[in-house]
Structure 1
Amino acid sequence: MKKQLTLLFLLILSVAAYAQTGSVKGNVSDNSKEALIGVNIFIKGTTQGTHSDELGNFEISNIVKGDHVLTVSYLGFKSKEIPFSISENQQVDLNTITLYEGNEILSEVTVEGKRINKFSRENTAYVAKLPLKDIENTQVYSTVTDELLKSQIVTNFDDALKNAVGINKLWASTGRGGDGAGYYSLRGFSVQPQLVNGLPGLTNGTINAANIERIEVLKGPSATLFGNSVTSYGGLINVVTKKPYVGTGAELSFTTGSFGFNQLTGDFNTAISEEENIYFRLNTSYSTEQSFQDAGFRKTFFVAPSLSYKVNNRLSFSFYGEITQAEQTNPMFLFLNRSAPTAAKNLKELGYNTKLSFTSNDLTLLNPTQNYRVEMDYKLSDNWRSQTLLSKSITSTKGYYTYLYDYGMFGDNVFTRRLNKQNSNTHTTDIQQNFIGDFKLGSLRNRVVVGLDFFNGVEINNGTGYISFGNVKPNGETVDDGTGNAYPLSTAAVDAALANASVSNNKSEYSIYSVYVSDVLNITRNLSAMVGLRVDRFNNDGDVTTPDDDYEQTAFSPKFGLVFQPILDKLSVFANYQNGFTNVAPQLVSETEDGPQTLKTFDPEQANQIEFGVKTNLFNNRLNATVSYYDIKVSDRVMTDPASPTNKIQGGEVVSKGFEVELSANPIDGLDIRGGYSYNDSETTKTDNENILNRRPLEAGPESMYNLWASYEIQQGKLEGFGLGIGFNGASESYAINYGSSGEFMLPEYTIGNASIFYQASNYRIGLKMNNVFDKEYYTGWTTISPQTPRSVLANFTYRF
């Protein structure tokens, strides 16, 4: 009887507590009264929250009676806090909540809820330096979302970029000083990832995937808003990192797989002070992996602290840091001869044993990297705000760098090992001040950014010169160079060989002072124009001990675009003119690899693009597509001299044109699809070098590239939470060598299949992924030949709490 009375008492209490709850509902739209889908809505100080549906509606139930604050946030829009009170069994209707476009300094809160089209492009304030919807942006860009990365169990940056249309890996991150990050082809031109949260962020090694919120690949010359130091004529790569959010949460993840891969990651978010709106987030990872070849490894420790402080509704601060400690063997490339015919014309004739690394785990590189960013956002008025940004990057390389080069001196298909001891570091500083406005002149709406930008880069090189260290064939056979010397791949043997090598003592510096303005003018509600201009002053000090290489240049970079939306926010037709330029810094060059180096200066390069296409956002965001055609012309191009890999020449003109199709769809609940196709036709149309005239540049990569990924998760029933993913990516054949003097060497086309299976519940996820399902042998290269990873398996367990 005593137990029964106790249970009855508890039941009465629970009923009473339930009776003292209520609910809140409403609708969220933008200032043009269009519904916003997937907006984050939550009760401040609780874990209760939801997302707005296809019509912008939302409802939160079981709210305890009393006073509350509803926080409404959405990427690219200013967050809003709405106080309300709940009495017993009351339903509060907030009617329509209007969000106004704003910045991304304080990220939106992440709550559990239904998100439509998980793989679609996201609205972003980075691409235009304005809070602009993709469908009204004249520039084309691809977004690789965190949902897509989780679906594919992506553990490295190269695999993440396979989801961006039109981008192809040329060679992997080498870790070498100055340019050790990976190289990729984009619209016919090479590009490296050098932008983090819209600001310069350098690395001599691979970017860690543990802190990626999304990757934005901007297409075409983009110097007007971003300058020339971090962009390419084909576009740029911007990595958006994870940011603090309002609330408390954590996630631990362990991934293991083939070739000795193990990775442990952690993501922790907490409030330092809820009353003062100070939130802290920490992302960290430790990973080790080995090569599929006979030697090679990489181990990395990464930590990324971030802090957000919302002082009040007018002022907010953010801090982001990324610190990496990495040790690796650099990937071994077979460099083909650029000036003389190579005996082999294809891989079969080369006889390449891809299981051989031609290096040892004794020869390693250390690549510590630090990136820091501080942001301050201040609301000046209802129409204007100020954004002050500071970024610092420090990246270093220390250790042994090696590669194989076909000199053609010791017989057919004989490669000489070249190596040196790296000891270099690069420091960059970037300061930006933006004034962002949203106002009307008469009946015309203007969204304007006016910015000042200062960039400074310092490079220090104290490495040794290169020496030759033995000869080998791609099948692994050692070839005597006539000295009878043995060449053990040990640090002792290499250090002895380098004892008499020259040691550099070079420090170079350059600064860029810029002012830019961009205005998106709404001529009508359906027709808008974007006009922009950058004035860029380049101040090069070159070698700080040599005044002869100092020079200054001024460049102008205009931009113009039109967007017409026949169906507002659902269908747009666009056209753009975009400009890029490069103040090519003097470079240390030599006529021969072993010859004396001299500093050589160049005129600025210029690139101009014309592009037009269509963007869609149909069926309540369930179908996003972009179709575009572009034509880029580059003049005064600086190129590697095919007669000497250590020399540069200028005077080339390159034309690159093509089209791209990108699609993301959510046709039914649980099924998400992402795919694309690109075609590029590039040609060197003007040059004094007959070896490359009317030929496809090597950095252009394959003509055709394609990718697809589809993921389906069962939505209800006993198998709810189970799902599978399947997809492929591939490319047409490409040139590793394409010179008149040395002929052609083609890398074959490839199509790589991938598949996954997973189960996810409210607080954990288990996944199994197989890459390169059919164990396809394929290669990438840029005057090089680099075999890619064969079939591999990854298993992941993630727990959220």
Structure 2
Amino acid sequence: MSRKQAKLLLYGTLTIALSLGTQGITLAEDSAAKTAQEEQQLEPSDQIPMTEIEVQERRKQELVIGQTPTAEGVTNYVVTRSSTGSKTEAETKDIPQTVTAIGQKVIEEQHADTVAKVLANVAGVNTDTGVWNPNANLNPSFYIRGFAANNYFFDGLYDPSGVAGWTGNLDRIEVLKGPSSLFFGQMQPGGIINYITKKPLTEEAYSIGLEYGSWGSRSVSFDASVPLTQDGKWLSRTIVSTDHLAQFQKNVHNNHFNGSLIVQGQPRNDTTYTFQAMYNHYNLAGGYVGGLPAIGTIVAPYRLVPYDANYYDPGQRHYFIGRALSARVDHQINDIWTVTSAVRYSGTHNDRRYIGDERWVDGDYTTGKILSYYSWDIYNTDTYAWDTTANAKFTAGGLAHHVTLGYEWSRYKQTWPISAGETLTPVDYLKPVFDPKPAAEVSPWRSTSKYRHSTYLADTVAVSDKLRVSGGLSHASYAQTVDDTGGSVSDTTYRVGSTYESSPGLTWFIGYGTSFNYNSSQNIRVGGQPVGIQTFKPKRGRQLEGGVKFNISDKASLTLSRYNIHQTNIITNLGTTADTDYRLIGEQASRGYELDLSYQIKPGWNLLAAYSNNDSTVVKNPQYPAWVGKQTVAVPKQTFRLWSTYEIQGGAWQGFGFGGGITHVSKRPFDTLNTTWVPGYNVMDAVVYYKANAWKYSLNVYNLANKKYYAAQTGVSVYAGIPRSFTLRAEREL
């Protein structure tokens, strides 16, 4: 796709969206005109002071529990509110930064059973090089706008331990793009990923689902919402799923058990409680299953390596157990102040064994042999997180304010009590036969701890009905230890910006934000001998972003943005390995523009589009000057996602729906010098479904054209994309 074609696509989509949105704008304008006319008819004595209007509006926004059937993202694709961009529920059009949310309807229609499949619907997000097995649904790894983004959050709480990729209990996934240290502390400048979990339904409801898919895959799921009291002040929801998922590689399968329980209560109108527990138990094929050597796939001789080859013994398993507990209280103190406090614990246990590799012996394909290695690791993680936020809405000096202040703290610890490895006999690349598991020497490896805490203060001021100005300041600290060595760093970051609603639903925005990230300490060497430890100031990120948002609840959500991100203070060694000379002079930049669109064209007809054009490069690196100007490894220049479905609303065919989509990913660099590239690809998917009484049947078909492509990569290998496949699902409400 050429730059000219990309611009035509981007501007064309925006034009279509705005033209389709004319009806929504007209409705909003009619409503506004009617309201203005009614206000003019009031007598002077009936005019209500500004502060009293604020109080009445606040009382209309009382705390609630549960999920209503018409909640955003449930009946259509549109989500216009978010808690990620401002630490409180707010309209995304009032946030001077891009926030994109993918809701339940998209997840269910696409049968997006992995986080990676969900995030394929978000512009500027792509798979990172750290993925183990993209089909195992464990330890997902992503880039946002060209920067690694692996600091995950669950319902706004920091949790890097929560690496399980289960989507069955997710209401939506929200992505805040760009530096976000104001509310989320130490992080990369690309952005953060926030998983928002499902809440109990307000009415009693039960459903069970059965699935069957390609290569013998099958699963069962159960969802039950049960009011715990007759007055509906205490609600619960239990979601359980179990599956046996087969991969297209021979004898490779993964088993998952997932369960969650959430209880919400509102004993008083001004207070709500939320308690949640989650459990994951996986039995996975061990290692980088499906990883293929670059030579013979993307490097000549092409197509030498079979597309469905697997150089890891599927009999070696990775056992994963994940546990999480969380609690939250929301309390509305008065018509101005609301306080939210939440805590979360999560822990994981990994017992991972694998036999295999994906590299040629001596890097030479003519040997016909692939290396083989035995690895056994047991490692555990524990994360504790706490966040308390206070929000106030009031009028001062004739201006309406929305103030947010709070404190965040977390502790993450990872231990490796067992680590073992041994080199084994290489295997034939066409008929691999693996050595049996050896009795390797076992020893502990390392222990890592990370501590984070931050305080933040932000204010959004309504200068007029159309113009809002916002600003915020945060001071955060981060400390890290690996075994007995480590360091700490702190920094002050901020975000400023403004939004202007030029017409109902159409808002222009501009924002500037900063972030910071930890620089690991380095060993100082003189004459090849270590003489000390050198610590560094943090890496710093900054972003200038501007664009337009078009939001009308239940109708449309569009963000068209242009951004420019820079990360500085990257460690560079101007010396040698034997005589080091570390300096903070490295710099990376990411520039581009994006479109995220979700639109309800008419009842039953929904459209999602996401387009990204990204230029992520090394700007400065005196240690490796050849890297300057080169595109970031694994980051595509362009991505495009289009998905649309239509459900017949009446007549004999009522309840019948159909649709599909296309995914385009341009070529990606395989190495830092951009000498080798992973080819781009286009993949088409489709869905048909039928709703009848309490039943729903659906058939998803993926990769309709059965394209052969490489969907992900590591530093030494690529992963073959899934061939044509299907999932047939039957679901019944009980």
Structure 2-normalised TM-score? 0.84
SS of structure 1 residue aligned to 2:108: helix
Amino acid of the structure 1 residue aligned with 2:424 = F
Q: What SS does the corresponding residue of 1:159 show, helix, strand or coil?
A: helix
Distance 1:243 1:621 in 2: 20
Q: Identify the match of residue 606 of structure 1 among 524, 540, 543.
A: 540
Unmatched segments (≥5 aa) in structure 2: 1-23, 33-54
* Greater shift in the superposed pair: 404-413 or 655-664: 404-413
| Aligned counterpart for 1:397 among listed residues 346, 350, 359 | 350
Q: Kindly tell me: are residues 133 and 165 of structure 1, through their superposed partners in 2, closer, same or farther at Cα, counting changes over 3 Å? A: same
On the 8 A contact 1:201/1:371 being kept in 2, the answer is no
Write out per-residue CA displacement over residues 206-231 of structure 1, whole angstroms, 9 at most, x where no aligned residue: 41111011111111111110112xx4
Shift of 1:123: 0.7
Q: 1:197 to 1:747 in 2, by over 3 A?
A: same
Q: Distance in 2 between matches of 1:553 and 1:319?
A: 33
**Unpaired segments of 5 or more residues in structure 1?**
1-36, 38-51, 57-79, 81-95, 479-486, 591-595
Tell me the equivalent position of 1:25.
none
TM-aligned CA distance change 1:209 to 1:588, over 3 Å: farther
Task: Say whether the 8 Å CA contact 1:174–1:205 is kept in structure 2.
Answer: no
- Residue from 399, 403, 409 that aligns with 1:448: 403
2:77 aligned with 1:119: yes
Amino acid paired to 1:185: Y
Tell me, yes or no, if the aligned pair for 1:573 and 1:614 is still in contact at 8 Å: yes
CA distance in 1, matches of 2:713, 2:486: 35
Q: CA deviation at 1:451?
A: 0.6
The verdict on how the C-alpha distance between 1:183 and 1:423 changes in structure 2, with shifts beyond 3 A counting, is: same
| 1:471 aligned partner | 426
Residues 756 and 769 of structure 1 are in contact (CA less than 8 Å); yes or no, is this contact kept in structure 2? yes
Measured after TM superposition, the shift of residue 134 of structure 1 is 1.3
Cα offset for 1:527? 0.7
Supply the distance in 2 between the matched residues of 1:311 and 1:632 (Cα, whole angstroms): 46
CA spacing shift, 1:512–1:382, aligned 2, 3 Å: same
Cα distance change of structure 1 residues 436 and 328 upon mapping to structure 2, 3 Å threshold: same
SS of residue paired to 1:148: helix
Aligned to 1:218: 176
Q: Partners of 1:168 and 1:115 in 2: how far apart? A: 22
Q: Residue 362 of structure 1 aligns to which amino acid in structure 2?
A: G
Query: Which residue of 1 is the match for residue 692 of structure 2?
Result: 761
Q: How far 1:333 moved relative to its partner? A: 6.1
Q: Indicate the residue corresponding to 1:186 in structure 2.
A: 144
Tell whether 2:54 aligns with 1:106: no
Q: CA deviation at 1:370?
A: 1.2
Amino acid at match of 2:563: Y
Match of 2:725 in 1: 792
Q: Which one of 225, 236, 261 corresponds to residue 280 of structure 1?
A: 236
Distance 1:677 1:589, change over 3 A: farther
C-alpha separation in 1, matches of 2:72 and 2:649:
11
Matched, 1:512 2:452: yes
User: 2-side partners of 1:800 and 1:198: how far apart?
Assistant: 31
Query: 1:352 is paired with a residue of what secondary structure?
Result: coil
Change over 3 Å in CA distance of 1:640–1:766 after alignment to 2:
farther
Cα distance in 1, alignment partners of residues 597 and 198 from structure 2: 25
Partner of 2:377: 422
Identity value in percent: 19
Q: Equivalent residue of 2:302, what SS?
A: helix
Letter in 1 for 2:719: S
Contact 2:479 2:488 in 1 (8 A): yes
Q: Give the structure 2 partner of residue 482 of structure 1.
A: none
Superposed displacement of residue 584, structure 1: 3.7
Amino acid at match of 2:512: Y
Q: Measure the CA separation in 2 of the matches of 1:717 and 1:344.
A: 51
- Secondary structure of the 2:418 match is coil
Deviation at 1:419, TM superposition (A): 3.7
> 1:387 aligned to 2:340?
yes
Offset at residue 495 of structure 1 (A): 3.0
Asked if the contact 2:343–2:386 (Cα under 8 Å) also holds between the matched residues in 1, the reply is yes
**Is 2:313 aligned against 1:360?**
yes
Classify the secondary structure of the residue corresponding to 1:679.
strand
Q: Does 2:578 correspond to 1:578?
A: no
Q: Does 1:462 align with 2:417?
A: yes
1:557 match: 493
Per the alignment, do residues 373 and 459 of structure 1 end up closer, same or farther by CA in structure 2, a change over 3 Å counting? Answer: same
Higher helix share: 2
Quick one: which of 603, 617, 620 aligns to 2:551? 617
Query: Does 2:476 correspond to 1:536?
Result: yes
Distance in 1, matches of 2:686 and 2:705, equals 11
Residues 628, 772 of structure 1: CA spacing in aligned structure 2 closer, same or farther, 3 A cutoff?
A: same
Distance 2:618 2:363 in 1: 33
Q: Give the whole-Å Cα distance in 2 for the aligned partners of 1:423 and 1:115.
A: 39
Question: Contact (CA 8 Å) 2:72, 2:79: kept in 1 or not?
Answer: no
User: Contact between 1:754 and 1:770, CA under 8 Å: does it hold in 2?
Assistant: yes
Max radius of gyration: which structure?
Answer: 1
Amino acid at match of 2:125: I
Per-residue deviation, 1:578: 1.5
How much does 1:639 deviate?
Answer: 9.2
Q: Does the aligned pair in 1 maintain the 2:412–2:451 contact within 8 Å?
A: yes
| 8 Å CA contact retained: 1:191, 1:232 | yes
Larger RCO, structure (CA 8 Å, separation 6 or more): 2
- Greater Cα offset, 719-728 or 575-584: 575-584
- 1 CA distance for matches of 2:161 and 2:204? 31
**Whole-Å separation in 2 of the counterparts to 1:243 and 1:737:** 44
1:263 aligns with 2:216: no
1:653 is displaced (CA, Å) by 0.9
User: Which piece of structure 1 moves more, 694-703 or 209-218?
Assistant: 694-703
Distance 1:588 1:418 in 2: 30
What's 1:299 paired with?
255
Q: Which amino acid aligns with 1:168?
A: N
8 Å contact kept, 1:173–1:206:
no
- Partner-residue secondary structure (3-state), 1:259: helix
What is the CA distance between 1:282 and its match in structure 2?
Answer: 0.5
- Quote the offset at 1:666 in angstroms: 1.9
Please say if residues 542 and 586 of structure 1, whose CA atoms lie closer than 8 Å, have aligned partners that are also in contact.
no
**Partner Cα separation in structure 2 for residue 233 and residue 567 of structure 1:** 32
Tell me how far apart the structure 1 counterparts of residues 595 and 413 of structure 2 sit (CA, whole Å): 40
Say what the alpha-carbon RMSD is for the aligned residues.
3.5
Q: Distance in 1 between matches of 2:566 and 2:293?
A: 28
1:195 lines up with 2:153 in the alignment: yes
Deviation of 1:114 (Å): 11
Q: 2: distance between equivalents of 1:531 and 1:100?
A: 26
Q: State the Cα distance separating 1:232 from its structure 2 match.
A: 3.2
- The match for 1:776 is 707
**Aligned length in residues:** 670
Which is worse superposed, 415-424 or 745-754?
Answer: 415-424
Partner SS, residue 382 of structure 1? coil
SS at match of 1:426: strand
Paired with 1:786 and 1:602, the residues of 2 have a C-alpha distance of 36
Per the alignment, residue 11 of structure 2 pairs with none
Summarize deviations over 1:464-486 as a string: whole Å, max 9, x none. Answer: 2543333357x4367xxxxxxxx
Note the C-alpha offset of 1:523.
1.3
Please list, as runs of the form range in 1=range in 2, the aligned pairs for 1:298-377 lying within 5 A after superposition: 298-329=254-285, 330-332=287-289, 334=291, 346=299, 348-349=301-302, 351-377=304-330
Per the alignment, residue 17 of structure 2 pairs with none
Q: After superposition, what is the alpha-carbon deviation per residue over 1:237-295, rounded to whole angstroms, capped at 9, x for unaligned?
A: 11111112332111211121102221211111112123471111111100111110123
Q: Is the 8 A contact 1:254 1:265 kept in 2?
A: yes
1:683-742 residue CA offsets vs partner (Å, 9 max, x unmatched): 111113327522435445111000011101111111111110121112001112233xxx
* Cα distance change of structure 1 residues 599 and 349 upon mapping to structure 2, 3 Å threshold: farther
User: Conserved in 2, the CA contact under 8 Å of 1:769 and 1:795?
Assistant: yes
In the alignment, the residues of structure 1 paired with residue 296 and residue 245 of structure 2 have an alpha-carbon distance, to the nearest angstrom, of: 35
In the alignment, structure 1 residue 749 sits paired with structure 2 residue 695: no
Q: Distance in 1 between matches of 2:378 and 2:312?
A: 19
Q: Deviations over 1:166-199 (max 9, x none)?
A: 21223585389xx961112220112236211111
Q: 1:662 aligns with which of 572, 596, 600?
A: 596
Distance across 1 between alignment mates of 2:333 and 2:100: 32
2:168 is paired with a residue of what secondary structure?
helix
Distance 1:127 1:403 in 2: 43
Corresponding position of 1:21: none
